[in-house]
Amino acid sequence: MTRNDFRQLLEKRTVFIDGATGTELQKRGMPAGVCPEKWILDNPWAIQEIQKAYYEAGSDIVLAPTFTASPIKLAEYGLEDDMVEMNRGLIRLTRQVAPEGKFVAADISMTGKQLYPLGDLMFEDLVDCYKAQVEAILLEGVDLFVVETMMSLQECRAAVLAIKELCDLPIIVSLTYNPDGKTLYGTSPDTATIVLQSMGVDCVGMNCSTGPDAMLELVQQMAKVATVPIIVKPNAGLPELENGKTVYKMTPEEFTDASEKLYEAGASLFGGCCGSTPDHIRALVSRLKDKPVHEIIDRPLRVVTSERKNTWIDLDGPFMVIGERINPTGKKKFQETLKNGSLSMVVDFAREQEERGANILDVNMGMNGIDEKQMMIDSIYEVTSAVDLPLCLDTSHVDVMEAALRIYPGRALINSISAEEEKMIPMLKLAKKYGAMFITLPLSGAGLPKDIEEKKQHINTVLTNAVELGLKKEDAVVDVLVQTVGAEGTAGLQCFETIEYCKYELELPTVCGLSNISFGMPNRQFVNTTYLTIAVSKGLTMAIANPNQEMLMYCAAAADTLMNKAGALEKYSSLPVVETKAATASAGAGAQASGGGLSVANACDGVSPIAECVIKGKKDQIVSEIQKVLDEGMDPQVIIEEHLIKGINVVGELYDKKKYFLPQLIAGANAMELGMKHIEPLLASADGESKATIVIATVEGDIHDIGKNLVALMLKNYGYNVIDLGKDVPAETIIDKAVEVNADIIGLSALMTTTMMRMDDVVKLAKEKGCHAQIIIGGACINESFKDEINADGYSADAAEAVKLVQNLMTKFA
């Protein structure tokens, strides 16, 4: 199947994919804890019986059972050396039962390993892992690829790159979302859709984690930005416990009723996940097969994203600032820190500019004495972990730009692409491959344009080549190329003309490097600010500038207000009054008071440097800050209770309020862990009350441990004695260890509905063996009602909540 074939199929009618595989295999005897792929190959009748039933029920596409057949996953069972033959064998089994005119898809999913900097798996190693599996699959041949049940946008990107760098088959990507409507890493459905379709994915959507009812709002979010079809594969409702077994009670009719609403919201491909059966698919096909086809809208999307935030570039919207501070040019102290390998100022600049109102952050590592490519990569990792703002990647070197785009977990803005022949095409190809927007710089190899007409010529040269390579004109932002008015008196007038040409003739947004206009002149801030207000009135969209400059930010807001732009008056009115320090302080306090409580911007107000290191995840500074107060004679226990614990409490509160997501939570926990390790030797001989002992594990049959590891880390940071037994741990091992150490609490984690019942085994075995530890549970498939059904003592939805749960239990049973 070609990508055109796939698109044509979707233009003809609604398309159907298969239903659940794991729960159907369990019905046919697959036990918990085995490698599913190995069991399938040993029992081929089971998978072929299921797949025949799905094809007969009306599925157009059935997934070969290669879901966890990547090298990293198979290594969990010691089967990585058999990866090629296993994938080929699994594809063959599906091919054997596929009717004429039906399609076989390869199924790829997450590895269970965390990517750097949250974990130790490097991005390129993950791409190589997926490539190894894709190469094996291609040896046997499939019609398309489905990348599904993904929790990380960055893992999705790695899988997509692996497939696209090896073949041109259609790609479907499906993520799974938490009850708050975001992935584990804080990505919303619209962000994921924007990023993945920009990279050339043919269909985007969601599967697993919930029933069809809870998907409705998420599909509506996707439909507002989708330029490709939307796929939905919901569970057959939420799992329930019945006679000691996990069951899904949503009938095919109920499933179809709810899925019809997803069709109305914009979905075009339908299937089922956990608990769904051929009967569910048959009912779907019967109800939806004759529905009118959704029109696929090829809409221009002027938007850049991080992993957690979208920034729309509106031609008629409020003026925007691309923060310029992460650039070593002219900053001696910054240059020295970079030469010494420290990225502390990079992170500080990023946070500061986000707090000051920047919309996008420019990252430039161009200087002598460092490895620009490596420093760019390292800076992107640090900045994307610290702030939510999208990035503008700034380098003139093609290889550095590709390295940056490759690991950037969003849709970036390239700064910039000029009409220089040797770099223009390579840079535009990078924009296409990685789905980036780009700034068009009207320069050629001959240097600055002689006049406005030559400037327009350069702009159109870049745009023409971009469209020929498959990009859209709307992917571009035009740099109006500001020159200094001190050397060329008409510099400002030429820029104003360029702005009007781009906005009214090309209908493109514009950007400028603001400070260039006043270079070499006295009192530069007045020239810059006056230029800016005139430029905004002409239609300038944004500037690369320092958001710390109050005059600039206030005048831009005032200009927007006078032009009656949407939301401008409210924004200007919310700015602090600056006439006096007292007034500023009062206005700042008022803004904080009316801002709805704790925010990232004010989270560090009044806290110690140590607590701030925890809140902001400053791993490279926390030890030195602790040593300072130790040298001054502060008691180690006071440092823990009054500084480290206070800091991690703020992190937890920000996480609860959805101001922080998993990356910031882990960064704070890791910073605190470093602080605790520095203090621990000093506590060894101190008299202090030891906290509870907690045994924690991922249950038997489940090899996912991201959530469990974070819970263990957080509990350790709060001083608890945590014994982490790892993943895929039998109930007897858990209880024996809890009895041996006289544990106060047992913590259990499960990601999959197929393994959640092992938690019930642990609860029952604890009673049989007289283990008196309180048992708490958590994981993506777990909820409060399941806790009640198996008589566990507590449930937490995430790591921050787990700490509170343990604290409450220990207080209750003290």
pLDDT band at 585 (very low <50, low <70, confident <90, very high): very low
pLDDT band at 684 (very low <50, low <70, confident <90, very high): low
Q: What is the predicted pLDDT for the residue at 121?
A: 95
Q: What is the predicted pLDDT for the residue at 666?
A: 82
Q: What is the predicted pLDDT for the residue at 648?
A: 87
- Does residue 214 carry a pLDDT above 90? yes
Q: Average pLDDT of 460-484?
A: 95
CATH of domain 609-683: 1.10.1240.10
Rounded-to-integer distance, Cα 229 and Cα 204, Å: 7
Rounded-to-integer distance, Cα 376 and Cα 635, Å: 40
3-state secondary structure of 118: coil
- Does residue 581 carry a pLDDT above 70? no
The tokens for 642 are: 């009054």
Query: Annotated binding residue at 781?
Result: no
Contact 584/577 with Cβ under 8 angstroms?
yes
pLDDT band at 691 (very low <50, low <70, confident <90, very high): confident
Query: Annotated binding residue at 274?
Result: yes
CATH of domain 693-812: 3.40.50.280
pLDDT band at 814 (very low <50, low <70, confident <90, very high): low
- Does residue 685 carry a pLDDT above 50? no
% residues pLDDT > 70 (the chain): 96
Q: Where are the domains of the chain?
A: 3-288, 308-553, 609-683, 693-812
Q: Average pLDDT of 384-406?
A: 97
Q: What is the predicted pLDDT for the residue at 582?
A: 39
Rounded-to-integer distance, Cα 466 and Cα 649, Å: 49
**Which of 577, 541, 580, 576 minimizes the C-alpha distance to 559?**
541
Concatenated DSSP letters of 273-333? -TT--HHHHHHHHHHHTTSPPPP-------EEE-SS-EEE--TTS--EEEEEEE--TT-HH
pLDDT tens digits for 154-165? 999 999 999 999
The tokens for 22 are: 């794991």
Contact 258/212 with Cβ under 8 angstroms?
yes
The tokens for 545 are: 């500038």
Query: Annotated binding residue at 613?
Result: no
Contact 810/794 with Cβ under 8 angstroms?
no
- Report, at the CATH architecture level, how domain 308-553 is classified: Alpha-Beta Barrel (3.20)
% residues pLDDT > 90 (the chain): 67
Rounded-to-integer distance, Cα 200 and Cα 163, Å: 11
Q: Average pLDDT of 752-768?
A: 87
pLDDT band at 591 (very low <50, low <70, confident <90, very high): very low
Measured N-to-C along each axis, helices 44-57 and 83-97 cross at an angle, to the nearest 10 degrees, of: 40
Cis peptide, bond prior to residue 117, ω within 30 of zero: yes
Q: Average pLDDT of 738-750?
A: 93
Rounded-to-integer distance, Cα 361 and Cα 577, Å: 26
pLDDT band at 690 (very low <50, low <70, confident <90, very high): low
- Does residue 62 carry a pLDDT above 80? yes
pLDDT tens digits for 281-329? 999 999 999 999 998 888 889 999 999 999 999 999 999 999 999 999 9
Per the document, the length of the chain is: 814
- Dihedral of CA atoms 594, 599, 605, 606 in degrees, nearest 10, equals 90
Q: What is the predicted pLDDT for the residue at 518?
A: 85
Q: What is the predicted pLDDT for the residue at 403?
A: 98
Q: What is the predicted pLDDT for the residue at 346?
A: 97
pLDDT band at 593 (very low <50, low <70, confident <90, very high): very low
CATH of domain 3-288: 3.20.20.330
pLDDT tens digits for 524-541? 888 888 999 999 999 999
Rounded-to-integer distance, Cα 221 and Cα 226, Å: 9
Q: Average pLDDT of 164-171?
A: 97
Mean pLDDT of the chain: 91
Q: What is the predicted pLDDT for the residue at 385?
A: 92
Rounded-to-integer distance, Cα 622 and Cα 643, Å: 11
Concatenated DSSP letters of 728-776? SB-HHHHHHHHHHTT-SEEEEE--STTTTHHHHHHHHHHHHTT---EEE
- Does residue 580 carry a pLDDT above 60? no
Asked, colleague to colleague, whether 3-288 and 308-553 share their fold, the answer is yes
Rounded-to-integer distance, Cα 393 and Cα 413, Å: 6
pLDDT tens digits for 3-38? 888 988 998 999 999 999 999 999 999 988 899 999
**Which of 188, 274, 186, 272 minimizes the C-alpha distance to 231?**
272
Buried b (16+ CB within 10 A) or exposed e, 740-766: eeebbbbbbbbbbbbbbbbbbbbbebb
